[in-house]
Structure 1
């Protein structure tokens, strides 16, 4: 007769699971979070895709056929007429995309040009002011061009178009008849619109890039396509739905870049969840030592016991995965209506992605198996004699010679790789190195260092705690007991703190790298846009010496600076030298020095850019010789720059030294800023500069107006990337906090007799509450210290490898805020377990342990 199911090894484990569901629910919390964030990413991608498809506007919906030339060839100017005459075709419009520089301005400007009918179902624009062009040399401009160039109905502009022979430029005046708003998404540059025939004549083009066709009925599209191929030999005809589908897929792919980036950090969060789950299973199995020993005593083999424990972990993982998937799907269904209440239109996903859900659940079960494997093998080797003892701590199984040796080997490998990469870091100006290979090895070294931290964590906990114990002992008995409680279980403390350290390491490294790159972006912005306006002379010429004074007198301008440049040779190579005062380069984003100080520039001294400093092998205090003609001038290096110099200048000297090098008295470059911020202030300044520049008598100079949007775009992208990455990394921190809460809950269950004894000895409930809360806070402190100790060195290597000229900047305030917030969060995670511990009655101290 077969025995009851509880008599089997697996049955006994399932019975234990049913008897104490709360204890085993704790083992699945981190896995549930992992499943939630993974399937949440799937649902987020579906929401993004649905939203982009619903909002995307490219080829008009009325277009049933799109005709293009074979091998990207143009369709002749008569092509639309031939297509329009085909039976079944209701309308055909030609599209052409081009552009031309805009004349009549002191600044370089460009206007993109596109053909559009302006009205009807095939139009991509709608008129918002004035009228759409109906005659030759007429344009309608979009709202972006109208704002940027100050255009409106009745105004005019001059296009600089090539002559038919292509050897010169002709000035073509055009009339602006109206302002339009594009219906298509993704249009970014200032654009002018006109009907196809008129735009072809204006640009002198032979044909259209494509023709959009609307048939009389959708059913007529197939027959019309065949007739179009006969009417226009070599034409490629595709359906409008096919073209719109391609455009939508491209738009979704662009919008999914951030989600692809998220996948990398989701993998880190999943890894953290595995670490937390491993620690939790180890604690739970250690609590059940007597039960496992009894099974061994009645004949259960280690192999069968390990298999049962692995099966138990798989069940927990599958249940946690299913719960996480359902929670993520429910939240995803709530996102669109909640976003709509805040004015953000999001589309709901089409349906429930069953294949992705099944993979997530199965993947969570596999993660649980991986997490439970090592603890189950350790627990299955328990001696039957343990049945005669009380529950043992997992500390007896977490340390060992093998683990220490593994940790030392990983640490040695990480140090060797890091040292090798540090020795091979390039100097500013050196571009002959493989950045990707260096970053890859830095990541490998960091991975080995983290593995070493996992293996050696129990050995590192007590030394760190000994340093923290000094101030904590002054907080009273609760502080001393908290240090003793964490130090008494170093393996458990290390398991939790390592996950916290992973979060701190990643967040801190990200903030440090982004702060360094942000400093470098500001430096590059200073180089690329050192002023709102730059006035330079014609080829080989100089500027009128009075023009700087005239510009300085304009109330619309500020910070007018005139300086000279000259060509010199050093070490047989030509270079540019200038007397520009580097302290006057765009206030608020000033230059920095790699060696020396910019303020040290004086007579017989020079500031050198990074490339020439690297090639000459000089730094502050060394000497260089510059030669102009037969005039050698020996100078001492006052400072070297971390990158290129403003305006492409290589050497910076005083005006007297530049005169010694043969430079003339007239300025070769004048810079100025708008007196007031904003587009309106820049437009007023531009008009004033244009009026000052009246032609060759002013030195035939030309002004380039820097684009303010370009100067801030990189910062905006960097801030967006920083916010996205930090939010994604917070998933790892969330898993770590869940691990702290789970560990604290299990600890309270395991140490009830200890708490009861403390209560019996006179320790109040509030003191017990403070003790457990401080223990949880110590997990955050340990993780913060270990994470920063690991993250900062690798941040330095990453910054130097990614951008050799970027200064290493440590955002001390942000890092301190991250650690402080994490300590508070981990302390808060222990609030509920601490409350349970504080309610432990003193009688538990004499009760028999389970």
Structure 2
């Protein structure tokens, strides 16, 4: 018998038949691998983003000057390096230049508002200088300072200006004033220099600060001497490294000059500084990476659904393999191998696409004026891991569909069509879903029952949030298991308005409802994206409202003035401040001590409408506008302890006399300026409080540094004189009003962008499902065309079906996300008001429906072109 007769064609094997199917229908391969390709692209795209950020930060970072060859710092004893030691270092062979660094600071006089200037020693010129002169001259003698651009802008300084530093007396008793002249304005070359700072040469600054040592010495070596030493060392020891030996010799000489000192090379210090800078820049990427698991999980769900549809389409082929003797185990193994091949190819394609995009980012950024850098080399280890991981994800995604498909009966070969619906939505799946739902509800109720109360400082929020996330995970698993049973009720409600749109709407509802398992598989992924994005938006709105409230409480005004020793201020102080055009919103109010139950508290007549950003002050119960005679606003802590809310009565005791008041509103947190109870001015006067104010607040008339400088001068002029001078009135400035909100908004925006990847994967799943469904339902579309439905109506029907996936996912996602959003807000900050951004959620919902509808455009076009003759053609 010939070899040709005995050999088995590769297409005749089980695995070979699957490979042949892939080669015959590459479109199905693309459909099954699309979501995995997106996951690989996103994961490796994150790797490329880290590479770009690291390269850019290292390239831009400026810390220790490049000319510094050696850095000397004090040893374990912490004693600074004295001037005599610095001279010994300068005498060391190969040392061309050595400068001492001093870091300190001092409060400034000349303003009633406290100001502070950091001080740093720098030569000002030469290779080791960390500053560059902008205007004026660099100080070369005593009593002179150069200030950086930040100090010049915030304190209104220029060459020729004078500064008065408040320095402690040598004996530590009292304060002395040291006046210095600003000789010039400099700009620091350090990347992280953003604070008002003054500079002077080391000896002069040390004398000014009253210190006799340096916290660090930077050394520049003599290149010629170093080369000579290296040559000599190399001749003496042919087998050793000349440069390494010379560096070791120099380090040893310095240690002899400065016993116990730590000596490091400049390259080592710069590398450490760059690593620290990169670590700070990667904080956002770490947050990004933490949410990648969500997008990857969504990709697995979509891939699982896609594999199930593809395998259901090939049920006759699998039945024929069973009929000719293939065992379920061999078929399942072949299908898993097919999935692994799809995953590896999708992973490789995604990695190459992400790497190519990463190489395009820097040149495109430069065209828009942004300087970015990237390594031209492919991170091979990360690429291999990404491809292998994608293959593993594909195996996990294909496992359940392959096991279900391998159990097909040989009799299926005689059938002409397959429904594609698995029997997984039976009793077992329902019981699993109910079990997960019960576990989620139990954990959620446990956290609800243990929510912190105002003032509770021992509540473990991290543990509580972890359990809330676990509860949400169980709830989502329940949604996956019960999805097929939830689709039909939701569709029944949606069918009412869709029936009025004509035949296309009715047929779209029937098409989605006819395959509830498939509809649930796609809609659940959409629901995951909507749930996470909607929850993030809701939590952001709630926490932003609380952040505005917190800022209004902690920094109600730009400036606050109060008496240092006495209990009240001059009654004319507010009027004097208001007479300055540089100040606005000047407000005076009183505070007094009262007794609530047996505990002391503070009552104030501060008008809450005058607090900065009054919209940021909100009420937890009642309304702040209801504050009137015989009424009171109570902070959250006292409201909780007294168990009162708007409309209840409270009794306060002032100087032994009880005062009964009605609660107009309760605050979500603490009150401004430490107030616990807020009453109208007339009520506080009737209680017997002194008429003189205890605090006066004011805002700068103009925003920005110039406006604050003019406001500070106005306050200083007002407080100058024997009646209010000599520090008897303290003026404090509030700074950084929006920092917390900006950080919160940046973090939330990053999270939403990452979670948007989940929505992208879901949309890809809708497009894939629609494409495979169109192929599967050719005869159905042909029959509809034969019955008189035109191509445009078929196009509308498929488009509406895809839109319904978005509607189903949006409804299920919001229904799941809103309760957990409320719980997360309460756990994270019990005082935060729960705020639902209805407009933003509606926009997200609408955009999602439009995008999922758009995802079905191409499949709908293919379906509309189906010929009526297909209705009588044989199924493939």
Is the TM-score greater than 0.5?
yes
* Residue number in structure 2 paired with 1:668: 694
Contact 1:478 1:770 in 2 (8 A): yes
* Residue number in structure 1 paired with 2:233: none
* Residue number in structure 2 paired with 1:18: 23
Contact 2:154 2:706 in 1 (8 A): no
- The within-5 A match list for 1:555-566 is 555-566=581-592
* Residue number in structure 2 paired with 1:706: 734
Counterpart Cα distance in 2 of 1:347 and 1:538 = 55
Counterpart Cα distance in 1 of 2:21 and 2:79 = 74
Counterpart Cα distance in 2 of 1:588 and 1:829 = 45
1:373 alignment partner, one of 399, 404, 408: 399
* Residue number in structure 2 paired with 1:481: 507
Tell me how far 1:32 sits from its aligned partner. Answer: 0.3
Which segment is superposed worse, 568-577 or 97-106? 568-577
* Residue number in structure 1 paired with 2:798: 772
* Residue number in structure 1 paired with 2:151: 145
1:69 alignment partner, one of 67, 70, 74: 74
Contact 1:583 1:590 in 2 (8 A): no
Counterpart Cα distance in 1 of 2:17 and 2:392 = 22
SS at match of 1:192: strand
- Cα deviation digits, residues 573-630 of structure 1 (max 9, x gap): 2222111111211245341111222222223322111122223332223333333333
1:39 aligns with 2:44: yes
Which segment is superposed worse, 594-603 or 135-144? 594-603
Contact 1:407 1:456 in 2 (8 A): yes
Counterpart Cα distance in 2 of 1:73 and 1:391 = 86
* Residue number in structure 2 paired with 1:94: 100
Contact 2:343 2:390 in 1 (8 A): yes
* Residue number in structure 2 paired with 1:78: 84
SS at match of 2:737: helix
- The within-5 A match list for 1:328-367 is 328-367=354-393
Tell me how far 1:423 sits from its aligned partner. Answer: 1.6
- The within-5 A match list for 1:414-813 is 414-698=440-724, 700-707=728-735, 710-813=736-839
Contact 2:100 2:217 in 1 (8 A): yes
Counterpart Cα distance in 1 of 2:55 and 2:604 = 56
Tell me how far 1:660 sits from its aligned partner. Answer: 4.2
Contact 1:88 1:221 in 2 (8 A): no
Counterpart Cα distance in 2 of 1:617 and 1:540 = 35
Tell me how far 1:172 sits from its aligned partner. Answer: 1.4
Tell me how far 1:327 sits from its aligned partner. Answer: 0.3
1:112 alignment partner, one of 96, 112, 118: 118
Counterpart Cα distance in 2 of 1:511 and 1:267 = 20
SS at match of 1:703: strand
Contact 2:320 2:410 in 1 (8 A): yes
* Residue number in structure 2 paired with 1:130: 136
* Residue number in structure 2 paired with 1:216: 222
Contact 1:153 1:179 in 2 (8 A): yes
Contact 1:306 1:377 in 2 (8 A): yes
Total equivalences in the alignment: 848
SS at match of 1:395: coil
Counterpart Cα distance in 1 of 2:199 and 2:494 = 70
2:283 alignment partner, one of 257, 266, 274: 257
1:158 aligns with 2:186: no
- Cα deviation digits, residues 349-398 of structure 1 (max 9, x gap): 25111010000000000000000000000000111111110231221434
- The within-5 A match list for 1:41-56 is 41-56=46-61
Contact 2:153 2:706 in 1 (8 A): no
Which segment is superposed worse, 722-731 or 337-346? 722-731
Tell me how far 1:836 sits from its aligned partner. Answer: 0.4
Contact 2:422 2:517 in 1 (8 A): no
Please provide the CA RMSD for this pair: 1.4
Counterpart Cα distance in 2 of 1:338 and 1:694 = 57
Counterpart Cα distance in 2 of 1:630 and 1:126 = 66
Unaligned ranges ≥5, structure 1: none
SS at match of 2:375: coil
Contact 2:332 2:406 in 1 (8 A): yes
Counterpart Cα distance in 2 of 1:73 and 1:38 = 49
Contact 1:457 1:495 in 2 (8 A): yes
SS at match of 1:474: helix
* Residue number in structure 2 paired with 1:57: 62
Tell me how far 1:222 sits from its aligned partner. Answer: 3.0
SS at match of 1:343: coil
Which segment is superposed worse, 345-354 or 49-58? 345-354
* Residue number in structure 1 paired with 2:234: none
SS at match of 1:638: strand
* Residue number in structure 2 paired with 1:192: 198
Contact 1:542 1:666 in 2 (8 A): yes
- Cα deviation digits, residues 187-227 of structure 1 (max 9, x gap): 12111111111111111123111101111126453322111
* Residue number in structure 1 paired with 2:236: none
Tell me how far 1:139 sits from its aligned partner. Answer: 1.1
Counterpart Cα distance in 1 of 2:722 and 2:515 = 84
Contact 2:608 2:614 in 1 (8 A): no
SS at match of 2:615: coil
* Residue number in structure 2 paired with 1:316: 342
Counterpart Cα distance in 1 of 2:564 and 2:689 = 17
Contact 1:499 1:783 in 2 (8 A): yes
Contact 1:98 1:113 in 2 (8 A): yes
Tell me how far 1:540 sits from its aligned partner. Answer: 2.7
Contact 1:274 1:368 in 2 (8 A): yes
- Cα deviation digits, residues 660-693 of structure 1 (max 9, x gap): 4442111111111222333333322222222111
Counterpart Cα distance in 1 of 2:173 and 2:391 = 70
Counterpart Cα distance in 2 of 1:625 and 1:171 = 51
Contact 2:74 2:261 in 1 (8 A): yes
Tell me how far 1:98 sits from its aligned partner. Answer: 0.9
Counterpart Cα distance in 1 of 2:613 and 2:52 = 44
- Cα deviation digits, residues 270-295 of structure 1 (max 9, x gap): 00000000000000000011111111
* Residue number in structure 1 paired with 2:430: 404
SS at match of 1:670: strand
Tell me how far 1:21 sits from its aligned partner. Answer: 1.2
* Residue number in structure 1 paired with 2:299: 273
- Cα deviation digits, residues 529-559 of structure 1 (max 9, x gap): 1112211112234211112112222222222
Which segment is superposed worse, 95-104 or 396-405? 396-405
Unaligned ranges ≥5, structure 2: 1-5, 227-242
Counterpart Cα distance in 2 of 1:207 and 1:587 = 48
State the TM-score, normalizing by the size of structure 1.
Answer: 0.98
1:282 alignment partner, one of 308, 324, 330: 308
Contact 1:69 1:209 in 2 (8 A): yes
Counterpart Cα distance in 2 of 1:267 and 1:194 = 52
Counterpart Cα distance in 2 of 1:120 and 1:368 = 61
Contact 1:543 1:669 in 2 (8 A): yes
Which segment is superposed worse, 711-720 or 406-415? 711-720
Tell me how far 1:25 sits from its aligned partner. Answer: 1.4
Distance 1:541 1:810, change over 3 A: same
* Residue number in structure 2 paired with 1:9: 14
Distance 1:164 1:632, change over 3 A: farther
